[in-house]
Structure formats: C-alpha cells, structure tokens
Amino acid sequence: MSLIVVTGAGGGIGAAVCARLLEDGYSVLATDLAPEPALAKAPSLATAYAEGRLSYLPVDVTSEQSVAALEEYLRQLGRPLQGLVNCAGIVHTAPLLETSYADWKRVNAVNADGVFLVTREVAWLMLEQADTDPTNSRGIVTVSSNAATTPRTEFGAYGASKAAALQVSRSFGLQLAAHGIRVNTVCPGTTRTPMVTDPWDGQDLSAQPIAGNPASYRLGIPLGRIADPQDIAEPIAFLTSPAARHITLQNLTVDGGATF
C-alpha cells in the first residue's frame, strides 16, 4: 500500500485530507506538533488508526533536526512513498506596521520554512526510491492561501509567508518534473477550521467573510458560503492521485470566487 505523508494533520484541513486519502486506499503518515495523535480520536480516522493504515509521528516543521528525523523514520519504514501534503500552517492577523519581527519570523518559519524543509527531505527520499517515474504517479501538494496572491490589510505577514510557500513549491516542481514528481499548490479561502473559528468566541461570524470588507481589500465570497475542510481535501486528493499525472507547477484557488 503506497504511503502519503501529511503535515499539520491535527488541523481541520489536515485531518480532512487524511480521511480523504484513506478513502482512496492510501496508507497515511500523519504528522503534527502534538506528542500524541489526538486526530486518531476522530470517528473518521479511529478505525484506520487501529488497523495501522493511519500512523502518527510528532514533527516540528520549523526544526531541521525534527524534519531530518521524519526522513530517517520514512527511510526505515522502507515503504513506497507516493506523496506529500504540506498542510502545516499558522495564522497571524495584524497590519504590517503593528507586526513584531518575532511574529514575522514565527509565521514564516511554519508556513514557508516548513514547506522548504519537509519538501526537500521527502523529495530526496522519493528520488532515492526511484530516480525516475515515467507514470508521474508521485505528487506533492502544498496548502497555501488565497492571501498569497491578494493582499489584505490584516494578513501582511501571513500572506507573505503563504506566497513564499507557493513559490518554493513551484521551484521544487520545476526541478522535480524531470524525475516524474509533480508539485502543485492549493490556495483555500476562508475555511471552517479552528484557525478561523476560534477567534469567533463561539459565535457564527461566517457572514462577515462572505459579505467581504472593501476597507481590507476583501472581495467577499460570491458562492455565499465559507468552505468546509472537505471542500479543500477533495482537490488535494485529486492532485496527489495518478489522475493528475499531467498536472504540475499549478496553483488551484479554492475560495468560492473570493479572488480571481
């Protein structure tokens, strides 16, 4: 059974991606910061975890040492590595004039440096397993954000970090294409995950991003709803699958038409 690594698996999108890939018959190695795999308690994942189709490894994507330990773990497994989904990410909301350098470095360390470190190590292992793949079946997908391409007043550091994640993924894709490894990005818009809903303090404030805020250069969401994690997991599952074997270096924005 082919293996796919998912970083940030404890988040809303990460957990949904794990569940969707398991449905497609993949074995999934979920990674996150937590020492224990809390995501295994989710009804959609508990059975797979008990059966061994879903495994867990704590990984800090901002630490080169921790990412190297992930690579060594994968090497020892000796399983065919089919793909990687970079879901690990954090948000920071403040205008740039009110953003500290510490906050700037923290959000870039997770959202940009983490994508570089993990993709680099996983790609090297893929090349070691098979230098070329004529079927182009192996895929890497990075979850960026529509804030990477549309500036917003409150998302200066976050948008810059996600733009870096998008660009480093494209650069990896250009280098790895000759080896039959595809690299694409998915840019979600507002999605109903704890990262978005926790600041709402128990209220349903989804009407605000749907309506938009011209003062913050936010266009609203023409489709009239914020995304569920499953809405993001579906295109990710497609891009990691052999069905997308002729797609690489592409960015798919999944935000209900909020940016275009």
Q: In whole angstroms, give the CA distance from residue 260 to residue 258.
A: 7
Tell whether the model's pLDDT for residue 198 goes beyond 90: no
SS3 111: helix
Selection from 156, 173, 24, 23 nearest residue 86 by Cα: 173
Half-sphere exposure of 48 (CA within 13 A, CB side): 25
pLDDT at residue 226, rounded to an integer: 82
Amino acid code (one letter) for 224: G
C-alpha angle with apex 89: 86 to 94, nearest 5 degrees? Answer: 150
Q: What is the DSSP letter of 6?
A: E
Strand ranges, E, within the chain = 3-7, 27-32, 54-58, 81-86, 138-143, 181-188, 251-254
Select from 139, 125, 115 the least CA-distant residue to 245: 139
Any idea which of 111-120, 144-153, 164-173, 230-239 has the lowest mean pLDDT?
Answer: 144-153
DSSP 39-108: GGGSHHHHHHHHHTSEEEEE--TT-HHHHHHHHHHHHHHT--EEEEEE-------B-GGG--HHHHHHHH
Predicted confidence band of residue 193 (pLDDT cuts 50, 70, 90): low
Of the candidates 19, 14, 6, 9, which has an alpha carbon nearest to the alpha carbon of residue 45? 19
Residue 113 C-beta-side C-alpha neighbours within 13 Å? 14
**Does the pTM of the predicted model rise above 0.95?**
no
Task: Identify the burial level of 151 via C-beta atoms within 10 angstroms of its C-beta, where 0-12 means exposed, 13-18 middle and 19 or more buried.
Answer: middle
- Per-chain mean pLDDT for the chain: 90
Task: Tell me the C-alpha distance between 121 and 123, whole Å.
Answer: 5
Catalytic residues: 158
Mind listing the domains of the chain with CATH numbers?
A: 3-254 (3.40.50.720)
Radius of gyration of the chain (CA): 18
Query: Worst-scoring range by mean pLDDT, 113-117, 140-144, 185-189, 203-207?
Result: 203-207
Residue 199, pLDDT score: 65
Three-class secondary structure of residue 11 per DSSP: coil
